Amino acid sequence: MAAQQSPPSGAIADLPVSATVVASFAVVFGQLGLVAQAAKGAFIVLVAGSLITLMLPAGSIDFLLILISFAVISHFGVNWCRVMLLGPQGLPARSLTWGEIHWRFFGYVLLMFFIMMLLTIPLSVISSLLAAAFGLMSSAGGTGPALAFVFAVIFLGMLYVLARLGFIFPAVAVGERYSLGLSWQHTAGQGARMMMALFAVGFPITVAQLVITELLSQIILGFSLFASLPTVALPGEGFPAGEASAAIGPVTPPSAIARIAFNLISAVVNFLSFAVIFSLLCLAFRTCTGWVPAGAGNLPTVPSNENEREEL
């Protein structure tokens, strides 16, 4: 690492879970001006991308939106990780700067996405076999408990992979020649702590995003996203599945302006969410690798493990 002759062979300190989680939220919501500054370029890219999609045929929009979202995450991720590790002076002078670091970050975002998608196959098979072994498939509740178990295993598996490989993002953002292997090496023995920390920040963020998205959809789009989800009634209860959409009633398509407003406001919420997650990864990266930027002015870090150690 930058402050060492060679990378450590493993984590040099245990991650203090609660302190790291609290610091992740505190840094973001105590520095909203910096978050806005770091997100400025990414927000411009998102607006431009949204306008471009309005002029394209429907069949090509979904793929383009995925690429735009990855580019936006990468641009903001680089900026915010640099703020966390280098201080405000780590931000580029120009908001729309895109260089080698951004390309590397973008590449790892894509790679992580594909790894997560590929993991769903073995995790689905393993969790389904376990659900059958535990008798969840034949429970009185139908397939509900089995599906919940399968989704839980898949979610935890993805969370574990992010916990072990996530150090690649702060390292790449500050120009370190880092690898996924080093991230796995430096999180050895910290997987459970990292998972707990990621879950502790991810769960409230997910709940908040669902609530905010539902409110925005009702206020701006004029309908409830949850009410428009497919509904399947149990045998003998309510209306047949084929009549679910009729019960909900016709939904008037929102205008283009309403869709853009919905997406842009949602983007602000997403930037805050990603800022918290990237903050957690940066703080954990510092704690477990001992990486300390040479310059002064970096934001507050987690309390030293010499003064505070947590037991799992």
pLDDT digits (tens, 9 = 90+) for 33-56: 999 999 999 999 888 887 787 776
CA distances, 204 to each of 112, 210, 224 (Å): 23, 10, 21
Whether residue 213 is predicted with pLDDT greater than 80 in this model: the reply is: yes
Count of Cβ atoms closer than 10 Å to residue 131 Cβ:
20
* Arithmetic mean of pLDDT, 288-305: 55
Asked if residues 263 and 61 have their Cβ atoms less than 8 Å apart, the reply is: no
Torsion, Cα 146 148 154 160, to 10 degrees, reads: -130
pLDDT for residue 304: 44
Whether residue 303 is predicted with pLDDT greater than 70 in this model: the reply is: no
Q: Which of 37, 35, 42, 78 is nearest to 264 (CA)?
A: 42
Q: Check: pTM over 0.85? Answer yes or no.
A: no
Q: How confident is the model at residue 293 (pLDDT cuts 50, 70, 90)?
A: low
Distance CA 266, CA 256 (A): 15
Asked if residues 164 and 184 have their Cβ atoms less than 8 Å apart, the reply is: yes
DSSP letter, residue 140:
T
Burial 260-292 (b: 16+ CB within 10 A, else e): bbbbeebbeebbbbbbbbbbbbbbbbbbbbbbe
Q: Radius of gyration over alpha carbons of the chain, in Å?
A: 22
Torsion, Cα 65 69 70 71, to 10 degrees, reads: 100
Locate 199 and state its tokens: 């879950």
Considering only residues 280 and 57, tell me which one the structure prediction assigns the higher pLDDT.
Answer: 280
Within 8 A by CB and 6+ apart from 108, the residues are 168, 169, 172, 180
* Arithmetic mean of pLDDT, 125-143: 74
* Arithmetic mean of pLDDT, 99-123: 94
**pLDDT-above-90 percentage for the chain:** 43
Considering only residues 212 and 142, tell me which one the structure prediction assigns the higher pLDDT.
Answer: 212
- Half-sphere CA count of 94, side-chain side, radius 13 A: 4
Distance CA 265, CA 166 (A): 27
Whether residue 300 is predicted with pLDDT greater than 90 in this model: the reply is: no
Q: Where are the domains of the chain?
A: 17-228+248-289
Count of Cβ atoms closer than 10 Å to residue 146 Cβ:
21
Q: Report H helices in the chain.
A: 17-29, 32-53, 58-86, 100-133, 144-165, 168-173, 180-186, 191-216, 244-248, 256-289
Count of Cβ atoms closer than 10 Å to residue 29 Cβ:
12
Count of Cβ atoms closer than 10 Å to residue 170 Cβ:
29
DSSP letter, residue 138:
T
Within 8 A by CB and 6+ apart from 264, the residues are 43, 46, 47, 50
154-166 residue pLDDT tens: 989 999 999 999 9
pLDDT for residue 194: 95
